[in-house]
Amino acid sequence: MNVELLVSMANDIAAFWDAEAGEGAAEGVRSHISRYWEPRMRREIIAHLQKGGAGLTSTARSAIEKLAPVA
């Protein structure tokens, strides 16, 4: 999967949660990604964050940091 697409998707989800939840936005993003993204997508976005996370907004970055590693 294209990591730029995953970054864009994570940032779009974060923008929604920033507007809706304020302080709880990162948890909303984490929950959404955990529920709706397949394991391969989660592994790739976690790996991207571990490589520096270029392009991720602060809310998306915080959410991905909270994701449990996926086998």
Predicted model pTM: 0.90
| Residue 13 belongs to a domain | yes
Tokens 């991207």 belong to 48
Return the pLDDT at 57.
97
Residue 21 has what pLDDT?
A: 75
Q: Which domain holds residue 44?
A: 3-65
The answer to whether residue 71 sits within a structural domain is no
Asked if the structure places residue 23 within a domain, the reply is yes
Total number of domains in the chain: 1
- Residues with Cβ within 8 Å of 49's Cβ and at least 6 positions away in sequence, in order, are 56, 61, 64, 65
Counting every residue written for the chain, the total comes to: 71
What span, in angstroms and rounded, lies between the C-alpha atoms of 21 and 27? 9
The alpha-helical segments, DSSP class H, found in 1-71 are: 3-21, 25-36, 39-50, 58-65
Q: Look at residue 71 in the predicted model and tell me its pLDDT.
A: 44
Domain assignment of residue 70, yes or no = no
Mean pLDDT by runs of 10 across the 71 residues of the chain is 95 95 89 96 96 97 87 44
State the pLDDT at residue 37: 97
